[in-house]
Every structure is written in C-alpha cells, then in structure tokens.
Structure 1
C-alpha cells in the first residue's frame, strides 16, 4: 500500500522499498519482524518507504528514533510497527527489531516464537547471527543491495548522513573482484560450517535443522532473514551455493520457514 498513514484497524509495518520501485522485501532486520507477524497469523499491512524518505516519514509519524548522532540529531531506521489494537485513536508506535519482536510476543502470546525458558538463549543466538555469522557477508551483500536500489536511493546512500540503512561506509565500497569475492564467500562458509556443527547436536532429540527441537522459533527466523537477504540480492552467486552447503541444511531451514514468507 502506498499510504503513509497507519490503518485504524490493522497493524502497519513500515518496510524498505526494493529496487526500481519493487515491493519485494529484502532487509533482514525487517524480515525478522515479518516472519513473526506471519507466524502468529496477525493481520497487517505494509507501507513501503524509499530510503531518502525514511527520516521525514518516521519523524512525522512520531516514531521513536533508533539512536542519536553526536550533535543530538535523531536517527530514524526501519522497521517501524504501528499497532492500533488497544487504542485506535493513539496507536502504539515502535521501532527497533528487538523491541518490536518482544512486544509482539508479549501482546500476542498465541503461537509463541519464544518457547518457555528459551528467550535468553534465543536472543543470544539471534545476536550471533547478526554480529558474527553475517559479518563476512556484508562486503558482498551490502554493495549488491545498493546496486538494486533506484537512483534516488543510491544517491542518498552515498550522501553524508544517509544513515537509515546499512552503514554508509559499507555502501560506498564496490563489490569485491572475482578472487577476493570467492575468499569472502569462503569466510562466510566457515561461519555456516560452525553453525552446522552446533545444530547437528540437536539430531536425536530434534530434527537438527531448527534451533529448538522440531518447530521453528525466533532463532530460526533470525537466520532465515539472512538467507532471505542472500536469496533476494545474490540469487545466483550466493544462494545457489549456500543452499547446497552442509548437506543442504540451509535449504531445509528455508523450507521450514517458507509457510511464513508472505509479504502483505
């Protein structure tokens, strides 16, 4: 939907618009929220936002800033979620993936993404995915993501202060040349190999694919959000190899999460 005003009856998720005006979601931190909404079968709609418009739209919406610059100026990032369910006249507006995830779990406990007693470990798992496993992917996926944006968003990304997405220093780096690119994929594979060895410990009292026994949970959505990013921006160079790594474990995880990949 193109309107920037929150609906009075359903949850609204603010997400980044893809390349050439595409409404195909790709940002992993936003996909984590989208997975939860789909898994819990909550009614919601999406407002697609161009990078250059993030600050103006979110500030006019009254969304909490994600952080503040050294000069005190607020920094606005996506995702943002607006939930009018409790008070349509004054809907709750949330930013930050972790805050939104915690809110959705507390407010809509049916079909929990955090099974009892797992919240701390799953949060640690998600932190590992974001801060460790994904790190060698950034020199590959950030330039590829940048290439797929429209010209206006690309120019904004290059401009000082274009801080509503991945770090601008990363977006200004070109895609590594062939041999260096291969080395980067090998570094990424080392992280996936390590995670493969950890998940294999679940074989016997679990399926060895998901983090918690046999059913998907928050930890799996955190990982599958990264897989979604890879598939959207590096289908042939990235996903075509990762889906076969570690005996096809990541393709199997993708299939486990696939029922929750709707994009409203």
Structure 2
C-alpha cells in the first residue's frame, strides 16, 4: 500500500477541514465520505481540525462559500470543506458542500473511479436514500450522543444556540422502552436495505457492496453512517448493528476498512 508520505512527495496536498470529538478522531458521516474518497483515490491530504465555534470564521478566512444562504440573507457555513492546490498552489480551489466536493474529486482525479460507467444516477439515488431515509431514525439516538463527545467549547456553543433559538432540543434517550423502540425503527431501515442488496447475491455480485463486486461511492456513504454509529455508540449501537442481517454490515465495514486511514 502506498503511504501518504510517499504520495505527498509527488502531488500537491489537499487540505480537509474536519471537526474533532474529545480527541481528533473523525466521526461526522458527511466528512467521512470525503475522507474515504481521498484515501481510495490515493490522494495526499492533511486534516485541519476545526471546533464548531470556529467553523464560520475559519471558512470565511479561506474564502469558502457558505453551504446555504437563508431566506433572511444569513450565510451558513458547515463542514466538510477542502482546499485543493492542484491547479495553482497560489490560488487553490476552495470547495464547500459534500456533493460538490465528491463531483470535484471524481472529475479532477479520474483514476480509480468511484462511479462505474452508467452508475452515477443509481448511486446518487442510493446515497439520497441513506441520507433522507435510513439515517432519519438514527438522529434521535446519535445526535445527542455526538454532542456529548464534542469538546466542551463546542458543546457550549450548541447549548447557547439552542437556548436562544429552540429550548426543546433533543435529549439523550436513556436505556428503556423508548430507546428500544427507536432502535427497532433503525433496524427496519437496515432490513429493507439488506433486502435490496440481497438482489446482488449470486452471479451478479457478493450481496455486500452496492454495485455487486467492487466498493463504490455508495458503499462509502453507507459505511460513513456505520462509522458514526461505531464512534458515538460503540457498545449499544455498533454492537447491535454489526450483528444485524447475518453480519452483513460488519462485512461491509471490513470491505471499506483499508480506506479508513486518517492523515
């Protein structure tokens, strides 16, 4: 396997802006999608860790575009963001929004493609399902747990914002019937997805990865959610999920493991 140090000697270094937990260990699924791609394409990169209170000022300082502009005209800055000096170290490209970053990396660095010919629409639909359907029942469980893993300064930042805007913020689901009900809702989504992927089993593929044989962007998007579960709920969440559907999700994790390096 080519090390990041060797790759750095011959290529410009991309900067990936990420946000830490108590220790600088990646956990955010949208940012993991980008990290997977950088590792898969063997692109040299470095991580800059930015706590949530510093995201807007940091991104403004590098002239990053806001993720959205609200109806009141306020710009909202979120991660991930990359800085790619490929075209010019003096005027590098600063790219915001995970989908825009994915398109940039796939177009600019076509070697080791993530989208086999003719699969871009299907994979985009699959990733949309992961974001908008599969992940939704996870939010009441993982968002409060993610908050608890943040550095105290970032926790205070969100507490201050929630108290000013919406006092009824989600709270941690304690062990009990409500938590179990929520996990059952999560399992229903994973069961549905397993049934879809089973259609690849046999001559068409191994039934583990989305496109049948080789890992693609859709697998990285799904594995990014698995990493989120493992990072913020290792004993309760990942211990459950890894056993569901005959251990399918643990096997997918293993298929993606070689692209989980952090630089």
Unaligned runs of 5+ in 1: 1-7, 163-167
Deviations 1:68-120 (A, max 9, x none): 12321210000000000111110000010000001100000000011111001
- Equivalent residue number for residue 24 of structure 1: 25
1:11 paired with 2:14, answer yes
For 1:180, the equivalent position in structure 2 comes to 178
Partner SS for 2:231: helix
Aligned to 1:180, the other structure's residue is in SS state helix
TM-superposed deviation, 1:159: 2.3
Following superposition, the deviation at residue 171 of structure 1 comes to: 9.3
Q: Which runs of 5+ in 2 are unaligned?
A: 1-10
1:40-80 CA distance string (max 9 Å, x none): 00000000000100000001110010011232121000000
Contact 1:143 1:171 in 2 (8 A): no
Equivalent residue number for residue 127 of structure 2: 126
Shift in Å at residue 39 of structure 1?
0.3
Tell me what 1:231 maps to: 230
Instruction: Decide whether the 8 Å contact of 1:143 with 1:170 is kept in 2.
Output: no
**Aligned ranges for residues 1-264 of structure 1 at < 5 Å?**
9-19=12-22, 22-160=23-161, 172-177=169-174, 178-204=176-202, 205-264=204-263
Count of residue pairs the alignment pairs up: 250
Measure the CA separation in 2 of the matches of 1:92 and 1:113.
21
What is the rounded CA distance, in whole Å, between the counterparts of 1:74 and 1:53 in structure 2?
15
Post-superposition CA distance 1:7-59 (Å, at most 9, x none): x931000001112xx11000000000000000000000000000100000001
Tell me, in whole angstroms, the C-alpha distance in 1 between the residues paired with 2:26 and 2:166: 23
Q: Partners of 1:110 and 1:171 in 2: how far apart?
A: 48
Check 1:150–1:131 CA distance in 2 against 1; reply closer, same or farther (3 A cut): same
In 1: Cα distance, 2:17 partner to 2:185 partner: 33
Out of 228-237 and 169-178, give the one that drifted further. 169-178
Q: Deviations over 1:112-143 (max 9, x none)?
A: 01111100110110010011000000000000
Shift of 1:150: 1.6
Distance 2:113 2:182 in 1: 36
Q: What is the distance in 2 between the residues matched to 1:169 and 1:18?
A: 24
Separation of aligned partners in 2, 1:161 and 1:96: 24
TM-score (norm 2): 0.92
In 1, the alpha carbon distance for the partners of 2:162 and 2:74 equals 11
Tell me the C-alpha RMSD between the 2 structures. 1.7
Q: Deviations over 1:143-199 (max 9, x none)?
A: 00001112211111122389xxxxx86993111232101100000000000000000
1:159 partner SS: helix
**TM value normalised by structure 1:** 0.92
CA distance in 1, matches of 2:62, 2:201: 47
